[in-house]
């Protein structure tokens, strides 16, 4: 008698990300191996404008995405036929760029007969920690990037409670705008952090928006305006000139105020989480580009220690926008056989928790 022994290899998922200014493709296996993770940043194309220009971003994705898919397959040493599915960001984000990624993914899925998995970009950030660490649901998540600033309870795949969001700017956006008014270039986060290293965080007493108020929403536009006013006042008094030290002090005082505000909001979310959930472990995950900031990370670590939480962050390459987090979310959805139809459309706005009440005073970003 012969017995068929079926060798089952782990699923391989390709992830495509093009919702902002990174064109990214990755291939990730079900058993958490990153076979390829290619990110092409458009920084040089946008920096003359001091921010991301949607039309330039979309055109650049068109120019580079197909080639990046090829490079990724080569690097992983596989063919389309080895893939189990194609996962793609279908929102939220800059709609032109999202459409480029989605059309590419749909074309591959159609031509190769592969299932399509539609991924929420925010869910990519939310689940990326599970690619590199064993983290069970639920956990608390601080998502801080250029486009988003949210506190969420990650209850499961596709299952979130949003505790707070920004009612105006995202944290990364506040860094970028502050860098612009201080003449520090783009992207602002790393430049402001560097200048702050030699600055006096106490020289300017900037507002800590919403600090001491209940809830976990964020607001940063008033802080940015306060930096502009302080800069203008200095210029007026000093013959239109800022010294290098002025810039560093402004940067340090801004960073300090923003960090204080974030810590206050996270503290409220920890209280809420402990009141409303009985998690097996107490974990705060921080993800998004702003998680690169050492000051914010070390203050979060202190806060976590005080409340018996462990602070976790994906490795930096998985914190900023990348394809691996989309591919990994693809794995999580593939396990649930959560596939999308080829009719799936790109969406600019796609909240993780559709039941969350709108933040009072919020603009489109909520
Ligand atoms: O997650 P990400 O790469 O892209 C978005 O989805 O937005 O985040 C980019 C943001 C930018 O606003 C950038 O200024 C900020 O992250 N950022 C930082 C630092 N590095 C990057 N903000 C503060 N400190 C940093 N070191
Ligand atoms: Zn992002």
Question: Other CB atoms closer than 10 Å to residue 77's CB: what's the count?
Answer: 10
Mean pLDDT of 308-335: 96
Mean pLDDT of 146-150: 92
pLDDT at 238 over 90: no
Mean pLDDT of 303-324: 96
Fold of 137-313: Nucleotidyltransferase; domain 5 (3.30.420)
Mean pLDDT of 24-36: 98
Mean pLDDT of 346-356: 92
Domain boundaries, given as residue ranges, for the chain = 12-128+318-365, 137-313
The domain covering 12-128+318-365 belongs, at the CATH homologous superfamily level, to ATPase, nucleotide binding domain (3.30.420.40)
- Burial of 351 from C-beta contacts in 10 A (0-12 / 13-18 / 19+): middle
Nearest listed ligand to the Cα of residue 123: 2
Supply 354's token pair: 């559709």
Task: Please report the pLDDT score of residue 121 as a whole number.
Answer: 96
Query: Sign of the CA dihedral 209, 260, 198, 191?
Result: negative
Rounded alpha-carbon distances, angstroms, from residue 287 to 141, 170, 317: 8, 13, 11
Mean pLDDT of 180-192: 91
Do 12-128+318-365 and 137-313 agree at the fold level?
yes
Residues framing ligand 1 (Cβ under 6 A): 20, 145-147, 172, 175-176, 187-190, 193, 288-290, 292-293, 320-321
Buried b (16+ CB within 10 A) or exposed e, 251-289: bbbbbbbbbbbbbbbbebbbebbeeeeebeebbbbbbbb
Our CA dihedral for 288, 294, 295, 301, rounded to 10 degrees, sits at 80
Q: Which pLDDT band, with edges at 50, 70 and 90, does 44 fall under?
A: confident
pLDDT at 4 over 90: no
pLDDT tens digits for 257-308?
999 999 999 999 999 999 999 999 999 999 999 999 999 999 999 999 999 9
Distance of CA 308 to the CA centre of its chain: 25
Task: Please report the pLDDT score of residue 7 as a whole number.
Answer: 61
**Is residue 290 within 8 Å of residue 175, measured between CB atoms?**
yes
Our mutation pick for probing the ligand 1 site, out of 39, 97, 146, counting the most ligand atoms within 8 A of Cβ, is 146
Percent share of the chain, pLDDT over 70 = 96
């Amino acid at each position: 008698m012969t017995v068929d022994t079926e060798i089952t290899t782990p699923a391989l998922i390709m992830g495509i990300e093009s919702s902002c200014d990174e064109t990214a493709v990755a291939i990730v296996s079900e058993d958490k191996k990153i076979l390829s993770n290619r990110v092409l940043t458009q920084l040089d194309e946008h920096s003359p404008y001091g921010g991301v220009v949607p039309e330039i971003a979309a055109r650049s994705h068109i120019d580079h995405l197909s080639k990046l898919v090829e490079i990724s397959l080569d690097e992983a040493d596989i063919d389309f036929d080895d893939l189990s599915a194609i996962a793609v960001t279908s929102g939220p984000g800059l709609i032109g760029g999202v459409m480029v990624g989605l059309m590419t993914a749909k074309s591959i899925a159609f031509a190769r007969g592969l299932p399509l998995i539609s991924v929420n970009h925010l869910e990519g950030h939310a689940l990326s920690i599970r690619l590199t660490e064993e983290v069970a649901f639920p956990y608390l998540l601080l998502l801080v990037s250029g486009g988003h600033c949210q506190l969420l309870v990650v209850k499961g795949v596709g299952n979130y409670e949003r505790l707070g969001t920004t009612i105006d700017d995202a944290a990364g956006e506040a860094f970028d705008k502050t860098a612009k008014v201080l003449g520090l270039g783009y992207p602002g986060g790393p430049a402001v952090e560097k200048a702050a290293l030699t600055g006096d965080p106490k020289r300017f007493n900037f507002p800590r928006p919403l600090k001491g108020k209940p809830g976990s929403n964020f607001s940063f536009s008033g802080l940015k305006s306060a930096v502009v006013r302080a800069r203008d006042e200095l210029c007026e008094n000093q013959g239109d000139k800022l010294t290098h030290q002025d810039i560093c002090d402004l940067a340090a005082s801004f960073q300090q105020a923003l960090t204080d505000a974030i810590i206050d909001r996270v503290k409220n979310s920890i209280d809420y989480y402990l009141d409303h959930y009985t998690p097996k472990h107490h974990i705060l995950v921080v993800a998004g580009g702003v998680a690169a900031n050492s000051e914010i990370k070390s203050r979060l670590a202190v806060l976590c220690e005080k409340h018996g939480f462990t602070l976790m962050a994906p490795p930096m390459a998985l914190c900023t926008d990348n394809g691996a987090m989309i591919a990994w979310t693809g794995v999580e959805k593939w396990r649930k056989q959560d596939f999308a139809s080829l009719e799936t459309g790109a969406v600019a706005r796609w909240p993780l928790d559709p039941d969350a009440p709108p933040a009072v005073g919020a603009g489109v970003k909520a």
